[in-house]
């Protein structure tokens, strides 16, 4: 019998679970929608009220707790980009827009 393939034994990338869709949708909006970013910066509770997020998800978003968000099923790229866009909104001119 062949030895198990170590690459197959543990996945390098796990697809987000379907229950994390609202969280990933919010992160996508933070990454892509300047109007949503403005609303989130002004009042994160109100901005996320209608998105179907749990209170824990909303708290992790307010802190932009990368590890907690990824553990909840957030896509790591969306977490990174949402955090970057929020930093750009908080410190205009500090980072180049791309």
Q: What is the pLDDT of residue 1?
A: 57
| 84: Cβ contacts below 8 Å, ≥ 6 apart | 95
The pLDDT of residue 53 is 96
Tokens of 2: 């062949």
The predicted structure's pLDDT at residue 92: 84
> Residue 2's pLDDT is what?
60
**Predicted structure pTM score:** 0.82
Looking at residue 54, its pLDDT comes to 95
Q: Where are the alpha helices (DSSP H) in the chain?
A: 6-9, 21-32, 34-42, 44-48, 55-63, 66-71, 76-90
Could you tell me the residue ranges of all domains in the chain?
17-90
The pLDDT value given to residue 71:
95
Rounded CA separation 55/49 (Å): 10
Distance CA 36, CA 74 (A): 18
DSSP 8-state assignment for residue 94: T
What are the residue ranges in the chain where pLDDT is below 50? 8
């Amino acid at each position: 019998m062949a030895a198990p393939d170590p690459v197959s034994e543990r996945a390098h990338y796990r697809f987000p679970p379907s229950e994390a869709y609202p969280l990933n949708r919010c992160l996508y909006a933070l990454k892509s929608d300047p109007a949503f970013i403005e609303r989130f910066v002004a009042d994160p509770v109100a901005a996320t009220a209608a998105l179907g997020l749990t209170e824990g998800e909303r708290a992790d978003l307010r802190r932009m707790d990368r590890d907690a968000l990824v553990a909840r099923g957030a896509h790591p790229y969306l977490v990174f980009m949402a955090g970057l866009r929020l930093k750009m909104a908080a410190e205009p001119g500090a980072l180049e827009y791309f």
